Amino acid sequence: MVEALRAIGPAPKPAMNAQALPLLSWITALVLALPLPAQDKPLEIELLSQVGVAVPGKAFQVAVRLKHGEHWHTYGKTLPEGVIGKPTKLRWVLPEGWSARDLPWPDPHSVPSTDGKTSVGYDGVVDLPAEITAAGKAGDEGMLEVEVNGLACDPKSCRPVKAKASLRLKLGQEEQRNASSLLPLANADPRANHKDSAKPAAAKADAASLGLSALLIGLLGGLILNVMPCVFPVLGIKVLAVVEQAGQDRRQVLKHALAYSAGVVLCFWVLGAVVIALGKAWGFQLQSPGFVFGLCLFFLIFGLNMAGLFEVGSSAVAVGSELQQKHGMGGSFFSGLLAVVVATPCSAPFLGSALGFALSLPALQGMLMFTSIALGLASPFLLLALFPALLRVLPRPGAWMESFKQGLSFLLFATTAYLLWVLSGMLEGQDLLFSMLALVAAAMACWAYGRWCLPHRSSKARRLGGLAALALMATALGSGWPRPNTDLPWEAWSPQRVEQLLAEGRPVYIDYTAKWCVTCQVNKRVYHDSGLRELILGKKVALLRADWTQEDPRITAALDALGKAAVPVNVLHQPGAEKPFIFPELLTAEIVRQAMNALP
């Protein structure tokens, strides 16, 4: 069989083209200064063992106990059809020679989810069982560590969770049962939440406090919109026009100010209703890697816009200056409508942040948030209309406004970094890498647009610059947009696990890899081939991943035995064969498929 595999020859080289907290960017910086209520942890875990003393070579049962916070839930090992979320995964770190094997998990059940909908997962207290086989000699001790990686959701939001637990066990000649572990009991009633009767009242108080803080943040955000270059020059012009039109009649001035404010509020209401309606149609946005990646792209692009890499809305100030030509109450009302429209090109990142926040809120609270932002935007007009003398203390428009806008861009970059952290809880390995590289390509597209698509450039330069920007953005979207989760069932590698699987008569495929190895990441793209995945699973090939990101003498020794000194190395062991088949350094789906087809 090995000779047949070697006859396949080297693979052709592949092409190398290559919840949650409110996502408010600028609002995020402001909220840090406000006294927000403490929130319950969505998930805590505990590692329980069936035995207190284990016997080397004898399997025993452990359980990873998930303790969900009130109203929070996680997902099962796999996602049922139509359920959007992230499967829960366990990652074991065991002493040398020890092995872990998952046992059947309890069936997930219907749980309340975001936006008033239901999902399928776990809540309350639930145990995820596994089987551990110890290695060593009597008198040794071993430390078991497990990491739970998943997504926790409550009725309002979702957030990625990574929790760790550990347990130290002794080895002896005879097994000693640990009766206090009570492993089966937590799954007897998977819906048990162990609620404290005092919690609902506290939760209501927290919600009220959070709602008040959010409204205050909205007011501050609306105020910030007034110092955007498209809005600030218009503000004084319009106030002067109203004061001159109404003379010294304060009542008339107030009526104009209220009419202007009504226009601002109405425009925000329309914007909020559209966004919230679309949000309800999408549903489970922050559980979707594609949606989170889209938010990363959105905030990065507008952060680059605010930093001055490229400009949009260059005619907004000219349009805004025409507001002074409108007269009467109707003119003030439509001036308020237009003020929001005119502000959009310069302040789209701010409005976009508000949109992201509104998507995570119930409809009524989302509309209140938009109302708060609108009142913040309109409030300076109200004050200046009532007290025209304040116009003399306003700073004049100038270069400081551009510096202020560029400084705020770093808040958007910070939001992008936060969203990447969220995305890292949904994607792993090569998929996450290509999503991050796609953001770099998107930044290059913005640079090309800002460099060559300027009015003073020739038509040829603008045309070529626009094509380059489109090509780079298309590359970013095509290569970096997260795909559905199709990960194969990889296990952690160990020499003992290889021997155990071969003794069971199963072929073993080993991927020696490291995160710092670029070729390793490119090779992993072959595992997205649906036909290859079905072939591997159909042949019942055990998949082991030897991660050499950090120094591991066992992996170094295994590579040396194969005559290799670096990664990537991919090998296929078959029971009874003297030597494994070593794949070429660069993989393609075809070369792996041929090797799998050669298996009996």
CATH number, domain of 47, equals: 2.60.40.10
Examine residue 17 and state whether it is found in any structural domain, yes or no: no
Provide the pLDDT for residue 569.
95
The SS3 call for residue 572 is: strand
**Terminal CA-to-CA distance of the chain, rounded, Å?**
9
Q: What is the 3-state secondary structure (H, E, C) of 116-163?
A: HCEEEEECCEEEEEEEEECCCCCCCEEEEEEEEEEEEECCCCEEEEEE
Q: Is residue 20 part of a domain?
A: no
Structural domain that includes position 120: 43-197
Give the containing element (helix H, strand E) for 491. Answer: strand 490-492
Same domain, 445 and 383: no
Kindly state whether residue 21 falls inside one of the protein's structural domains.
no
Specify whether 136 is located in the same domain as 246.
no
CA-CA-CA-CA torsion sign (529, 530, 535, 537) = positive
Domain boundary among 385, 403, 426: 426
Provide the greatest CA pair distance for the chain: 100
d(CA 304, CA 106): 47
Residues of the chain with pLDDT under 70: 1-40, 82, 114-116, 179-214, 227-250, 275-276, 278-287, 312-328, 331, 335, 338-339, 341-362, 388, 391-398, 400-401, 428-429, 484-487
Beta-ladder partners of 141 = 170
The Cα–Cα gap between 116 and 110 comes to 13
Q: What distance in Å separates the CA atoms of residue 225 and residue 496, rounded to the nearest whole number? A: 62
Q: How many other C-beta atoms lie within 10 A of the C-beta of residue 99? A: 19
Residues 230 and 324 in one domain: yes
- Please name the residues in contact with 319: beta carbons below 8 A apart, sequence gap of 6 or more: 338, 342
Measured distance CA(194)–CA(66) in Å, rounded = 13
Task: Tell me whether residue 34 is exposed, middle or buried, using C-beta atoms within 10 angstroms of its C-beta: 0 to 12, 13 to 18, 19 or more.
Answer: middle
User: Quick one: tokens of 137?
Assistant: 């000699």
Domain total of the chain: 4
414 shares its domain with 433: no
How buried is 147 (Cβ within 10 angstroms: 0-12 exposed, 13-18 middle, 19+ buried)?
middle
Is residue 310 in a domain? yes
Give this prediction's pTM: 0.48
The per-residue pLDDT for 279 is 56
| 9-47 pLDDT tens trace | 443 333 333 333 333 344 444 433 333 334 457 898 999
CATH code, domain carrying 544: 3.40.30.10
pLDDT at 344: 55
pLDDT for res 441: 93
Q: Identify whether residues 494 and 346 lie together within a single domain.
A: no
Q: Are 505 and 384 part of one and the same domain? A: no
66 found inside a domain: yes
**In a shared domain, residues 116 and 189:** yes
Nearest to 43 by CA among 82, 20, 73: 73
Radius of gyration of the chain (CA): 30
Q: What is residue 248's predicted lDDT score, i.e. its pLDDT? A: 52
55 and 165 within one domain? yes
Helices marked H in 360-428: 363-386, 399-424
Read off the pLDDT of residues 175-194 as tens digits, 9 standing for 90 and up.
Answer: 888 755 444 444 444 333 43
Q: Which residue matches tokens 């990574």?
A: 162
Report the share of the chain in percent with pLDDT over 70. Answer: 70
For residue 77, what pLDDT is reported?
A: 87
In a 3-state reduction of DSSP, which class is residue 64?
strand
- Residues 390, 251 share a domain: yes
Is the same domain home to 168 and 247? no
> Which residue, 443, 468, 485, sits at the end of a domain?
485
Place of tokens 């090992």: 77
Q: Are residues 333 and 384 in the same domain?
A: yes
161 within domain boundaries: yes
Q: Is residue 490 domain-shared with residue 434, that is, in the same domain?
A: no
Residue 463 lies in a domain: yes
Distance CA 116, CA 544 (A): 41
Does the residue 25 lie in any domain? no
